[in-house]
């Protein structure tokens, strides 16, 4: 009886110490929460692993999409070029210089289709990622527009820099142009309730 009681008290003391250190770090301002320095390796690993596991779990409930069409790829390219390329770059296109100030730095997406399934890409594009500057596009895109972005991401590994630039130019020539000032080009979507 004495051994188990000492063991339990030791565990409680250990948990109280860890909790106290965590609260001390939070409230003391000692944790560097600025975007100018990268996360410590254990924090970076934990965030990446947590996000990957979340994406895998959420994607299980999404049925596979039908085969993507050229029209979807083109629509996704237009959206990607207008809203994603500044952070993620593209074949032959660098990211914007200011992206260096984001932590974590947004990844290049040239081979993203080899790392994630279409359903997982739909979760990522729609839901974004907390504390990463990746927005949840589900609030400003229709379901079809989200799948158009996924269609483009699926095609991205097969695009050379020349192909990408040619498609960008073709899209720019046929695009109706930017919306009038103050008018968003996407469809607003209400935030889901609690």
Encode pLDDT of 30-49 as tens digits: 777 788 888 889 988 999 99
Residue 47 to residue 38: CA distance in whole angstroms: 12
Distances (CA, A) of 174 to 89, 119, 151, 155: 22, 30, 20, 20
* pLDDT > 70? residue 1: no
133-185 per-position pLDDT tens digit: 899 999 999 999 999 999 999 999 999 999 999 988 887 777 655 444 443 44
Domain range annotation of the chain? 41-174
Residue 151's contacts (CB-CB under 8 Å, 6 or more residues apart) are 68, 69, 72, 73, 75, 76
**Residue 5 pLDDT greater than 90, yes or no:** no
pLDDT value, residue 82: 92
Quote the longest CA-to-CA distance of the chain: 81
Between 19 and 112, the higher pLDDT residue: 112
Class of the domain covering 41-174: mainly alpha
Question: Closest Cα partner for 65 from 136, 26, 123?
Answer: 123
pLDDT greater than 60 at residue 105: yes
């Amino acid at each position: 009886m004495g051994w188990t009681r000492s063991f339990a008290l030791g565990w409680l003391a250990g948990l109280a110490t860890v909790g106290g250190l965590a609260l001390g770090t939070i409230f003391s301002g000692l944790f560097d929460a600025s975007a100018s320095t990268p996360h410590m390796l254990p924090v970076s690993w934990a965030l990446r692993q947590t996000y990957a596991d979340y994406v895998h779990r959420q994607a299980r409930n999404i049925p596979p999409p039908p085969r993507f069409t050229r029209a979807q790829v083109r629509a996704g390219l237009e959206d990607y070029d207008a809203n994603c390329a500044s952070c993620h770059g593209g074949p032959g296109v660098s990211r914007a210089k200011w992206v260096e100030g984001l932590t974590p730095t947004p990844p290049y997406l040239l081979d993203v289709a080899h790392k994630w399934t279409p359903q997982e890409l739909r979760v990522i594009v729609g839901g974004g990622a907390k504390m990463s500057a990746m927005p949840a596009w589900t609030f400003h895109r229709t379901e079809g527009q989200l799948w158009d972005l996924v269609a483009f991401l699926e095609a991205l590994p097969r695009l050379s820099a020349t192909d990408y630039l040619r498609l960008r130019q073709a899209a720019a020539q046929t695009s109706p142009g930017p919306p009038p000032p103050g008018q968003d080009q996407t469809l607003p979507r209400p935030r889901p309730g609690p």
